[in-house]
Amino acid sequence: MVLDLTGITAFADYFVICTGANQRQVQAISDEVGLRLKHEAGELPTNIEGYTQAEWVLADYGDLLVHIFSPKAREYYGLERLWRGARHIEIPAE
């Protein structure tokens, strides 16, 4: 899921929110996002939090924040609910 936060908050324009089935998958998603953003867009994160525990990995790319949750953490924190005023951006199928 991608949320457009433009005009809603000053700290980020977009949230990418996704879920991995287990700790290894959360870390693998984080690794793949990092590799693709580096190789395809030349972007590196300014910070990554939560990678070791892999319940909620937050990768900060400036105006883009990537949230990768375990199923339990995603339900608990409910970012979609907290930011329900944000516009949802459709992700095209590959």
> Which DSSP string corresponds to the chain?
-EEE-TTT-SS-SEEEEEE-SSHHHHHHHHHHHHHHHHHHH----SEEESTTT-SEEEEE-SSEEEEEE-HHHHHHH-HHHHTTTSEEEPPPP-
The verdict on residue 93 lying in a domain is no
The verdict on residue 60 lying in a domain is yes
- Give average pLDDT by consecutive 10-residue segment, the chain, 94 residues: 93 96 98 97 97 97 97 96 93 80
Residue 91: predicted pLDDT: 85
- The total number of structural domains in the chain stands at 1
Determine the structural domain holding residue 54 and report its residue range.
16-79
